[in-house]
Amino acid sequence: MNEARVKNAEELYKYADHLRWAAGDLQENYHKVKAHAADFSQQWKDDSAEAFMLMLEREERVIQELIYEFTRYEGAVRKRADMVREYVARGKRYKV
């Protein structure tokens, strides 16, 4: 059995920060792509623009699910980091 050991809660907090940033970047980049696609698709002279924008709308649901999961995972990691920090603090109080 592999045992994972956390030596530093700060590393978990950094990981949680990266998850938050990834979720934010994902959302920001999706909105940029959608805005660019909306501007660009106005130049199309057939109904493919509407079909493309509908596809982007469907993809937005997937993006929102990913953002939700990143955010949820970030919270779980932060909770574990808090636990590690508390464990270390308590251990220091009881060291002989």
Residue-range domains of the chain with CATH: 9-94 (1.10.287)
Cα Rg of the chain, angstroms: 21
Q: What pLDDT does residue 72 have?
A: 97
The answer to whether the predicted template modeling score (pTM) of the entire model surpasses 0.85 is no
Q: Report pLDDT for 96.
A: 47
- The answer to whether 81 touches 17, Cβ cutoff 8 Å, is no
pLDDT digit of tens for each residue in the chain (96 aa)? Answer: 566 666 788 999 999 999 999 999 999 999 998 888 888 777 877 777 788 888 888 999 999 999 999 999 999 999 999 998 988 888 776 654
Helix (H) or strand (E) holding 62: helix 48-94
How many Cβ atoms are within 10 Å of 7's Cβ, its own excluded? 8
Q: Is 30 within 8 Å of 63 (Cβ atoms)?
A: yes
| pLDDT reported for residue 8 | 80
Q: How far apart are CA 87 and CA 33, in angstroms?
A: 44
pLDDT at 1: 55
Q: How far apart are the C-alpha atoms of 9 and 82, rounded to whole Å?
A: 7
